[in-house]
Structure 1
Amino acid sequence: MLSTSGCAGSRMPLAAVSDDGLSLSSVVLYRNGVGYFERSGKVDGDMLRLRVRKDQVNDLLKSLTVVDEDGKAVSVSMPLDPQTWASAAMATLAPGRGSLAQVLDSLRGTDITVKAGARVIRGRIVMIERSVNEPDPELAAPSRGGAPVQLEDTRDWKLTLLARGQMQVVRLSKVKAITLHDGDLAMQLHRSLDASAGEGMFEQVDLEIRLADARSHRLTVSYVVGAPMWKPTYRIVLPEEGKGQGLLQGWAVVDNTSGEDWRDIQLAVTSGAPIAFRYDLHTPREVYRTDMTQSAADKRASVALGETSWGEEERIYEPEPELEPMEEVADEAYYGFEDDVADGDYARAPEAAPAPTSKSKRKKDSNRSSGMMGGGGAPVRPGSIASGAEYGERQQVDVDTLRRSTQASARSQRISGLTRVDLDTPVTVPDGSSTMVALINESVEAEQTFLYRPGGAGYGYEANPYRVVRFQNATDYVLEPGPIAIYSGGSFVGEGLSEAVGAGTSVTIPFAVAPEIMVTSSKQYAGQEMTMTRIVRGVLEVESFYQTTTTWDVRGPLQDKAWTVLVRQPQSGGNYQLAERPEGTEDLEGAWLIPITVKAKANSASIKVVEQTPSKITLAIWDQQALPLLEKFLTMPNISAEARKALQPVVELRREIGRIDTEVDGLRRQQAELERRADQTRRNLEAIKKDPKAGTLRAKLNKRLEEFSSDADEKGRKIVELENKRLSKKIELEDMLESIDLRAPSVGEGKDDAKGQK
């Protein structure tokens, strides 16, 4: 446990709660700015008196619990704060709040003396109101053209005083000085200013807890008050082969700013996100009530019959079973510094710490050393890797060495969604100091690899990936966000920062840049032909895809072993999915983690990642695109025999109707051409009707007109026959479609998995 002492200025803050009969026994620190404190001890008499820091009264009133082994607490009483209820003016003077107009308005009726220019007025404050001062024309400055410049309106306040039976009005902007003639009010104002300056917040309030009898009581008092959040820090030691068993170590840094020493307490820290807030329970609040005096005098009660009710059956509530603690992280305890260590040489900067010069000195220092690098040996200076460096000899810093150097003894348990870690050994944390306690010292599955994110590894490294460590949280609790130091090959190689890591989940932590590796990409956009996904009573559900193809290229130095770069590819859109999932792909929030492996003795590799988003439409079976979609559906290899048998007659009948439609369409075009030519012939005959020399031509044109009309009539009769045939086929097809409901089999389904019924 590392301990550093700090100074809070010339004034030492007082304890949050203090009493000679109760000693602090347990502290639980949370990540939301509060701490749970528990005290116990013996109290004689029928009154327990506590002195509470004023800034923590409200938190304490929300959570105070008093347990008497032989009795019970009767009541809790405390004095009201005169600065918050005796004068409303004091409430306006919280730091960052209030104005002179607000203060004067809250002091109505107070006797003051105001100096405004040459006027000195003494009187009682009647009111203060906002006003708009119109510009004075006499003060307007002339412009260059000779016309006066119009001044803007100015907003001000008017202070009304009652002086010798007269009301006098003074502009607040003209006031130069104000004298308070109420000495008590002036004293309260001084106290409020002390609080704003940070002095009054440590003023203490007396609480009196009345007990059942005037005798000896053994009490346990618990409460929740504001406390600095504990801070996690971690270390990962990578396996020698780059993948395998690594070492995960974790510490909690706790700060004691409570105003009292924590001596031999049971310390616990929690991970999770409980809700905590401030709520003023100490200040009286009045609620406006409607005056119903007159209406009550006019009311008359009416006679009503009584009613009989039945009592509710007795309900028995069984207590919830207590949660059993989880497995211990380690067997040995992790002890902290005593007070002399917190205030000694180890609180100074590294360069100020003297090196040991004798065996006796080394022995003395070895008994006082502790922290991240473990117990035995010379004092560990911040930033040093091996404790043996003080003696000119360097010990190997590997997984086993670091595991032995750290002693962690803690138990974890789940409580209402939170993970609580209790240290097995009592901890001493002097007031005004920070202490680091070991929580984790476990082997984990870890590997070192590379991660590329769009944009690269930062400015100047846009095409380079990160060097990352991946490990699985093998503990029983959440790893809170914090810095992670990475060790490999016996030395520090980088550090990273992680979000919260749940129990049993994996995390990827970038800790360095890999400039020797380059990752590039290119994109292509395309559409995909339509595919029928379902046919229901002659309605086809059709799906088409818009595709985005991203080609990733990785280049790096030749290696004797294969190596992998994980590419974090964001989704092109919210409904995009992978058309084909590359092997080893992991799902992230709004992205995929896609591995690209460069083979041994190679310096490059590439992969194409196809994303697609579906576009769904519906078509009637009579649509021109319906028949090709039906025919494609029948060619699917994994369609069931039952579905094929049900759909085959539909496709054949629709194909025959399609042929009829094609033939009818051709006949209609021929008929239209014949009718056009016949109409042209008629116009020609009309033109030569009166020409006596055109007899031969008229005969020829009449014969041609007859042929055109005859052929057009023949085409018309053929069209009618085909339409009658088509109508018959259409009715037959519609009857067949009434019982058809087929779905396209999913990718990977067998033939027997396709759904269909006839």
Structure 2
Amino acid sequence: MLLLATASSTSAQGPATVPPGPAAPRTRASDRTEQGAVLSPPDAARLPVRRVVLYKSGVGYFEHLGRVRGDQAVSIDLTSGQLDDVLKSLTTADLGNGRVTGITFNSSAPVEQRLRMLGLPLGASTSPADLLNALRGARVEVQAGSAAIVGRILSLEERQRTADGATETRQELTIVTDAGLVRTFTLGPAIGIRLAEAEMRGELSQYLDLVGSTRARDVRRLRIGTTGSGVRDLLVSYVSEVPVWKSTYRLVIPSAGNRAPFLQGWAIVDNTLGEDWTDVELSLVAGAPQSFVQQVSQPLYTRRPVVPLPRTAMLTPQTHDGTLEAFAKAESVEGGIPGGALGGVVGGLPSAPNAAPVPAPLKEARSREDAVVESLAAAPVAARGQELGDLFQYTLTQPITVRRNQSALVPIVQADVAIERVSLWNAASGTGRPWRAVWLTNDTGLTLDGGSVALVEGGAFAGEGLLEAIQPKERRLISYAVDLAARVSVVHDGGPRRVSRMRIGKGAFVQVVQERVTSTYTIRNEDSTARTFVIEHARRDGWSLAAGTATPAEATAAQHRFRVVVDPRASTELKVEQVREVETRVAVTTITSDQIALILQGRDVDASVAPQLRAVMAQNAEVTRLQSAVRERRAEIERIEKDQARVRENLAALKTSAEERQLVARYASQLNTQEDRLVVLRRDIEDLELQRVKAQDELVRLANAVALDITME
């Protein structure tokens, strides 16, 4: 048993029971609960669930409230998985003249750990051969026919025997009798083995009990001890794993024009715990607080390093070195025309151009529809909303009962909402047919959790879609059917590149090249009434809408949404032009005559700019000429030095004959001439370098004096 030294405690997935105590006193008015209900003795024997809060992260918060008397303890049966969550979140409070003395639960070490505590070195899965090897050295009685031989197990070996071309593997058990006789038996159906030692029989029985316990019902009993005087309320709260609650909505669109559409929301909850929820206060949180599984109920063993014992002693004296170093507003393309009607119950079918007189049965059906709509709209609000930190909570206004292992559909939203009927198209759909959709504004004042939405119009099913979580006053598109009365196509045109802007400043020349892409959407409306289309145009990184393009109704992270109104049985076009500007930056000293000519084509170019730029070009040409002259002289010096090296090699190979002395004199004269030329070249390089530095400084001055920012025509 493990004892939790805490005054707060437990939770239950199953009914909590109280051990028998003294006879219950007569109930007094002071024994009433906070809800005012008197708990009879059977009620005092358990802690019923009074409050349930369900979250989207797969957990639920549970509160139990019941009565204890004197020094009593409440026992709660849980599974190991439930106990882990309970131990992480358990809170208990004695609401009277008493206190919680402690909480205990039966511990359960892992099977592998418990097996290691046994005398038999066996795993959870074993075989007869494993068992006999584990019993090596134990006294056994081998029954072979009518004979019974007692001895200690020496070994178990596998041997192969070949007979008539077939190989057979047999297991042979060898024992040593008390008289020292070694006997070998081939194991088979006729051989029986009995453990002769009571201690080993007990070890084997413990092993079998332990292995068999893994199939037993997983029950972990939590015991909450209390002490105090009189009858008192005991509150226990905890968090436990439960199924995620789901949302589903119905958007009812009345046929009558004077009735606003309204939204109904329902939540599906499941009670998979071990007891009924009877008259509980149920809250549903539209959020997913972080929750995780941690096996805190399991004893934890850590791995320790195995340090071998020293095998030899270092008896030779050792020496050790000393220390050496210490270390706006959207616009519609066609403007002003109101959005079209649904155009048919299913799939946006075209409306009839001229409606015939309404038959009497149809009038009666519409009257029934109006009555149903009014009844639904008049239904009371079943839940109230409440902000819960970063989450949102629906709390049912009336207690609810959900029997164990049953589910329920509970109402959470009932409010009028504003919608706009549209036809939604996106190129990613891969079809020319748009979706019929509604642009829903959340006027409920509540945060709506994500879920399915079924649309009902004219008393019939019109389609269904999906809604992600939406905040109050937020607007969201919900598509629900294919629009068979409309078609959309798109053509993309890359367009030419052109220089849109040039800037010169601080010696840098910046040229801005503008790229344009035009997407032309052709929209056809075959219905007899005008339709409002929403065209989703993909956003591209680095691109923006060009001037003159219609303002989108809204934009998401990935799409621009354009509203287009199309007249009955008509077509229209929507052009969306996107631009991107690419900059190239170079030194103004590298400007060319072609670029100067292009600059002079810009708007409002100052007349003094051209002489400045041409002066920069001329000075740049002078710097280039001086650099070229320096390179030419250095190249000549390199050629002379290579030739001198060749001549010196030839001089070293000559002897003292008359012909060779003449050749030496000629080589010496050549070297003298080359040395004179080298002196001149090095002097020229020094002069040219001085001229280049001055010319470069003048070029920088001229370049920095130019300031320009023009937009191209």
Cα distance in 2 between the residues matched to 1:283 and 1:226: 18
Is the 1:251–1:437 Cα contact (8 Å) retained in structure 2?
yes
Identify the match of residue 59 of structure 1 among 65, 82, 85. 85
SS at match of 1:87: helix
Cα distance in 1 between the residues matched to 2:267 and 2:550: 40
1:77 counterpart = 2:99: no
Note the 1:603-752 alignment, pairs <5 A.
603-622=570-589, 623-624=591-592, 626-628=595-597, 630-631=599-600, 634-635=603-604, 649-655=608-614, 734-735=700-701, 738=704
Partner of 1:583: 551
Partner of 1:193: 215
Cα distance in 1 between the residues matched to 2:478 and 2:183: 74
Aligned residues: percent identity?
Answer: 25
Shift of 1:56: 0.9
Note the 1:368-517 alignment, pairs <5 A.
395-397=368-370, 401=374, 403-456=376-429, 462-517=431-486
Is the 2:270–2:407 Cα contact (8 Å) retained in structure 1?
yes
Is the 1:634–1:648 Cα contact (8 Å) retained in structure 2?
no
Cα distance in 2 between the residues matched to 1:507 and 1:105: 67
Shift of 1:471: 0.3
Cα distance in 2 between the residues matched to 1:106 and 1:736: 99
Residue type of the alignment partner of 2:208: A
Note the 1:145-184 alignment, pairs <5 A.
182-184=204-206
Partner of 2:51: 26
Cα distance in 2 between the residues matched to 1:125 and 1:743: 102
Q: How many residues align?
A: 517
- Shift of the 63–549 alpha-carbon distance from structure 1 to 2, 3 Å rule, reads same
SS at match of 1:594: strand
Note the 1:41-440 alignment, pairs <5 A.
41-54=66-79, 55-69=81-95, 70=97, 72-81=99-108, 84=111, 87-88=114-115, 100=125, 109=134, 182-194=204-216, 200-201=217-218, 204-211=219-226, 213=228, 216-238=231-253, 240=255, 245-289=260-304, 395-397=368-370, 401=374, 403-440=376-413
SS at match of 1:614: strand
- Shift of the 732–66 alpha-carbon distance from structure 1 to 2, 3 Å rule, reads same
Is the 1:60–1:225 Cα contact (8 Å) retained in structure 2?
yes
- Shift of the 730–485 alpha-carbon distance from structure 1 to 2, 3 Å rule, reads same
- Root-mean-square deviation (Å): 5.2
Partner of 2:528: 559
Residue by residue over 1:143-189, the C-alpha shift from the partner in whole angstroms, topping out at 9 and shown as x without a partner, is xxxxxxxxxxxxxxx99999769999x99xxxxx9x99633433443
Shift of 1:577: 2.9
Residue by residue over 1:596-631, the C-alpha shift from the partner in whole angstroms, topping out at 9 and shown as x without a partner, is 321x35510112222334332213324225435644
- Shift of the 585–47 alpha-carbon distance from structure 1 to 2, 3 Å rule, reads same
Is the 2:465–2:478 Cα contact (8 Å) retained in structure 1?
yes
Shift of 1:83: 6.6
Shift of 1:493: 1.0
Residue by residue over 1:630-678, the C-alpha shift from the partner in whole angstroms, topping out at 9 and shown as x without a partner, is 446654xxxxxxxx8xx76445521566699999x9xxxxxxxxxxxxx
Is the 2:416–2:444 Cα contact (8 Å) retained in structure 1?
no
- Shift of the 506–58 alpha-carbon distance from structure 1 to 2, 3 Å rule, reads same
Is the 1:28–1:267 Cα contact (8 Å) retained in structure 2?
yes
Is the 1:251–1:438 Cα contact (8 Å) retained in structure 2?
yes
Shift of 1:409: 3.2
- Shift of the 30–560 alpha-carbon distance from structure 1 to 2, 3 Å rule, reads closer
- Shift of the 217–489 alpha-carbon distance from structure 1 to 2, 3 Å rule, reads same
Identify the match of residue 594 of structure 1 among 542, 550, 562. 562
- Shift of the 107–262 alpha-carbon distance from structure 1 to 2, 3 Å rule, reads farther
Cα distance in 1 between the residues matched to 2:175 and 2:496: 88
Residue type of the alignment partner of 1:552: Y
Residue type of the alignment partner of 1:263: T
- Shift of the 517–621 alpha-carbon distance from structure 1 to 2, 3 Å rule, reads same
Cα distance in 2 between the residues matched to 1:125 and 1:82: 32
Cα distance in 2 between the residues matched to 1:619 and 1:262: 76
Partner of 1:574: 541
Partner of 1:339: none
Shift of 1:46: 3.5
Cα distance in 1 between the residues matched to 2:103 and 2:125: 38
Gaps of 5+ in 2: 1-11, 18-44, 118-122, 143-148, 188-192, 311-360, 625-692
- Shift of the 420–601 alpha-carbon distance from structure 1 to 2, 3 Å rule, reads closer
SS at match of 1:183: helix
- Shift of the 416–654 alpha-carbon distance from structure 1 to 2, 3 Å rule, reads same
SS at match of 1:654: helix
Moved more, 263-272 or 398-407: 398-407
Flag the structure with larger Rg.
2
Is the 2:99–2:228 Cα contact (8 Å) retained in structure 1?
no
Cα distance in 2 between the residues matched to 1:85 and 1:45: 42
Is the 2:521–2:574 Cα contact (8 Å) retained in structure 1?
yes
- Shift of the 631–728 alpha-carbon distance from structure 1 to 2, 3 Å rule, reads farther
Shift of 1:230: 0.9
- Shift of the 242–397 alpha-carbon distance from structure 1 to 2, 3 Å rule, reads closer
- Shift of the 397–107 alpha-carbon distance from structure 1 to 2, 3 Å rule, reads farther
Cα distance in 1 between the residues matched to 2:232 and 2:154: 56
Residue type of the alignment partner of 1:61: L
SS at match of 2:374: helix
Cα distance in 2 between the residues matched to 1:167 and 1:89: 32
SS at match of 1:277: coil
SS at match of 1:190: helix
Residue type of the alignment partner of 1:566: V
Shift of 1:521: 1.4
Is the 2:609–2:706 Cα contact (8 Å) retained in structure 1?
no
Shift of 1:542: 2.6
Gaps of 5+ in 1: 1-13, 91-97, 116-120, 142-157, 172-176, 195-199, 296-387, 636-643, 666-726, 747-758
- Shift of the 567–99 alpha-carbon distance from structure 1 to 2, 3 Å rule, reads farther
SS at match of 1:22: coil
SS at match of 1:75: strand
Residue by residue over 1:204-260, the C-alpha shift from the partner in whole angstroms, topping out at 9 and shown as x without a partner, is 322122335465442211001111111111011236589994212111111112121
Is the 1:654–1:733 Cα contact (8 Å) retained in structure 2?
no
Shift of 1:430: 1.8
Partner of 2:519: 550
SS at match of 2:410: strand
SS at match of 1:222: strand
Shift of 1:392: 9.5
- Shift of the 736–45 alpha-carbon distance from structure 1 to 2, 3 Å rule, reads farther
Cα distance in 1 between the residues matched to 2:126 and 2:225: 44
Shift of 1:193: 2.9
SS at match of 2:368: coil
- Shift of the 107–139 alpha-carbon distance from structure 1 to 2, 3 Å rule, reads closer
Residue type of the alignment partner of 1:442: A
Is the 2:516–2:579 Cα contact (8 Å) retained in structure 1?
yes
Is the 1:537–1:738 Cα contact (8 Å) retained in structure 2?
yes
Shift of 1:37: 0.3
Is the 1:485–1:494 Cα contact (8 Å) retained in structure 2?
yes
SS at match of 1:395: helix
Residue by residue over 1:705-729, the C-alpha shift from the partner in whole angstroms, topping out at 9 and shown as x without a partner, is xxxxxxxxxxxxxxxxxxxxxx999
* TM-score, normalisation: structure 2: 0.61
Partner of 2:357: none
SS at match of 2:208: helix
Residue type of the alignment partner of 2:279: D
